[in-house]
Structures are given as structure tokens and as C-alpha cells.
Amino acid sequence: MRGAGARYLTVAGFAEGVRLSVPAIPVMALFGTAFGAFAAQKGLGLLEATLMSTLMFAGASQFVATEMWTEPITVSVVTTLCLITAAVNMRFMLMTASLRPWLGGLPAWQTYPAMALLTEPGWLIAMRYRAAGGTDHSIVLSSGIALWLIWIVSTVLGYLLGAVVADPRRYALDLVMPVFFTVMLVPLWSGPRRAVAWVAAGAVAIVTAEYVSGSWYIIAGTVAGTLSAGFIDERA
Amino acid sequence: MGAGLLALLAMGVSTFLMRAGGYWLMAHVPLTARVHRMLEALPGALVVAIVLPIAVKIGVIAFLAISAAAVVMVLRHNGFLAVVGGLIVAALARSMGM
């Protein structure tokens, strides 16, 4: 099935991946800008914010990490940041797992870089391309690189913008994070039966936030929601 | 910046492990229906657990903003419009003294 040529990245596939990324650019740029502005408001340095976008390329976890960033950085702060980052980004496991059937036959040195740069829009692009009969796997890596560059540049722009806004509350910039997360939540809605996990997560998180200091409420709520989804048997 | 750089690198590694992990695991471990259901529910549960306590802390204005954003998202399926819409609603409400 697999010709020798199909195992290697192609220029045409690279160009196609960049072309497929174009519709995703406005959202990516907006979220990158929002993150940059948020990081500036929270007192992160420009270098730190830019490095975070470069190394992580995962908006939701970057917002949370910025929120929890506390100086001085001790071993326990680093540990907490890594655990939270892993928890927020665990959803990537599902996305990259779903690409295995398509990419599994390719050499690891070609697929893991593409996985390292995979995001929700990139994953959607790949799944749609595949569903439409596309076969050139180069588009996964090239759309990843294109979106990654947009993300880094917009982070810098947003940071510079956020640093000059004197009164962030007036432009509702303090609400960027809850609004951003709510928008992420909408496509995850899969009917009232599945909403049990959300209710459990929300209730446990609010109660924990009330009585326990720090960010434990995030972990407590997530564990409660995830477990409730796992242990409620459902007939589809 | 030394310790900060270390933290950033560690978070980068942690994020990479999640991305590589799903791809790697898929070839080595069969996902049971329950584990799959839990992994599927995880992002939503996490987002709710992050947003709700913050919204409660900020107050009515936060609920206005997130409701507006959610409505726009449901109607238009456009993340850009939804975020901008939510923030505009909040900024307007504040300018009117809420």
C-alpha cells in the first residue's frame, strides 16, 4: 500500500498544509494576542511569555500556568506547574492517539515532530484532510509549523499591547481567561447525559476553592468530573 | 530568569509528553471504553473547574461575559467573534457602571 515516496515529507504537502491553515489564522492570532496581553498584565517578562508560547504552544495551559506563576520559582512551584500543565494538556493524548492509524506506518522522526506541534485547529485540519481522501502526511507538520509561528508572533504583539493598557479592567482584559475557556467549552458539549461530568467538576471546584487555598480546586474539580464520567455507565 | 527558564522548559517537556504520549500509547496499550470515556470527559471537566471558581470570584460581570461568549459560539461557531463579543459585553456593562 505504502510506496517508498509516501514515507517522506513532500514540498507539495507542505504547501497544502500551510494553505489549509489559513482559515484558522484569525482565531489563533486572537488567542495568541489575548495570551500575550494576559501575560503582560500578570507581570511575566516578554522573554518568558514568548518562550512559554514557543515551548508549550498550548493556549489553555499557558493561561493557567501564567495565573499560577509565583516568584520565587521553587522546586515545588515547578512541580505544581508541570502537573497542572500535564492535566490541562492531557486532551492532546486523545488527538494524537486518533492520528496513529493514519501515521503509524511512518518513521518516528517524521511523526513525533508533527505531534509536538499539534493543536486543536491543526488536528481538525488533519482529520478533515484525511476524511476528504488526502494522503500526504506532510500537511500535519506544515500546518503545525504555520500555526506555531502565528502563535509566537501574536504572543509578542499581544504582550506589547497588554503592557501599554493602563486600565485592563476597562477593556475587560481581566475576563479574557474565563471567556476564552468558555468558548473552548462549547464544542465539547455532547448532550445533557455527558454534562454530569461538568456539573460534578464545577460543584467540587467551587467548594474546594472556598475552603482550600491555592489551585487545588482545579485538580479536585477535574478529578471529580472525570471519575463521574468513568463510572456512570451509559448506553449509547 | 534561571529558575523561570527551568520552569518553562519543564512545562514544555510536560506538554510534549502529553502530545507524544497519546500517539505512543495508541500503539502499545488498548484503550478500554471506560478509560476512553474518562479521557473524553477530562477536558470539559477541567475547563469548568478552572472557569467557574474564577467567575464566582469576579462576580456578575463574569457571568454576563461568559454567557454572551457562549451564545455567540453556539450561534456562529466562531471562536474569534465569541471572545470579542464576550469582552465587549463586559466592557459595555462596566462603562454603564456595573
Under 8 Å between Cβ of A120 and A96: no
Amino acid at A95: M
Under 8 Å between Cβ of A163 and A40: yes
Searching chain A, which residue's CA lies closest to the CA of residue B55?
Answer: A178
pLDDT of A236 above 50: no
**By percentage, how much of chain A surpasses pLDDT 70?**
95
Weakest mean pLDDT among A28-37, A119-128, A155-164, A180-189: A180-189
Distance CA B34, CA A232 (A): 9
Q: Which residue has the higher pLDDT, B19 or A164?
A: B19
- Residue A190 pLDDT: 77
pLDDT of A3 above 60: no
- Residue A171 pLDDT: 80
Distance CA B84, CA A173 (A): 11
Q: Which residues contact A158 (CB under 8 A, 6 or more apart)?
A: A32, A33, A34, A35, A36, A37, A38, A39, A40
Q: Which residue has the higher pLDDT, A131 or A6?
A: A131
Amino acid at A147: L
pLDDT band at A91 (very low <50, low <70, confident <90, very high): confident
| Residue B61 Cα distances to A121, A218, B90, angstroms | 30, 22, 6
Global confidence as pTM: 0.78
**By percentage, how much of chain A surpasses pLDDT 90?**
42
* Three-state SS at A42: coil
Look at residues A235, A216, A226, A236 and name the one whose alpha carbon lies nearest to residue A196.
A226
Distance CA B73, CA B70 (A): 5
**Burial classification of residue A1, based on how many CB atoms lie within 10 Å of its CB (0-12 exposed, 13-18 middle, 19 or more buried):** exposed
pLDDT of A54 above 90: yes
- What residues of B are in contact with residue A71 (Cβ under 8 Å)? 4
What average pLDDT score do residues A149-167 get?
91
Searching chain B, which residue's CA lies closest to the CA of residue A170?
Answer: B91
- DSSP assignment letter at B40: H
| Residue B52 Cα distances to A167, A178, A197, A209, B29, angstroms | 24, 8, 14, 10, 34
pLDDT of B76 above 70: yes
Under 8 Å between Cβ of B10 and A181: no
- DSSP assignment letter at B30: P
In terms of phi and psi (left: phi > 0; alpha: psi -120 to 50; beta: otherwise), the region of A19 is: alpha
Distance CA B52, CA B62 (A): 10
pLDDT band at B39 (very low <50, low <70, confident <90, very high): confident
- Residue A234 pLDDT: 61
Distance CA A80, CA A184 (A): 23
- Interface contact A116-B61, CB threshold 8 A: no
pLDDT band at B36 (very low <50, low <70, confident <90, very high): confident
SS (H, E, C) B77-91: CCHHHHHHHHHHHHH
- Residue A5 pLDDT: 46
Query: Per residue in A22-52, pLDDT tens?
Result: 988 888 898 899 899 999 988 999 999 999 9
Q: Which residues contact B90 (CB under 8 A, 6 or more apart)?
A: A172, A175, A179, B61, B62, B64, B65, B68
pLDDT band at B1 (very low <50, low <70, confident <90, very high): low
- What residues of A are in contact with residue B42 (Cβ under 8 Å)? 87, 90-91, 222, 225-226, 229
- What residues of B are in contact with residue A51 (Cβ under 8 Å)? 5, 8
Query: Per residue in A175-229, pLDDT tens?
Result: 888 888 888 788 778 777 778 899 999 999 999 999 987 777 888 898 899 899 8
Mean pLDDT of chain B: 88
Distance CA A125, CA A103 (A): 15
What average pLDDT score do residues A78-89 get?
89
Query: Per residue in A97-106, pLDDT tens?
Result: 888 888 888 8
- Residue A2 pLDDT: 45
- What residues of B are in contact with residue A186 (Cβ under 8 Å)? 70, 73-74, 82
* Three-state SS at A221: helix
What average pLDDT score do residues A61-80 get?
90
- Residue B53 pLDDT: 92
**Cα A89 → chain centroid:** 6
- Residue B15 pLDDT: 96
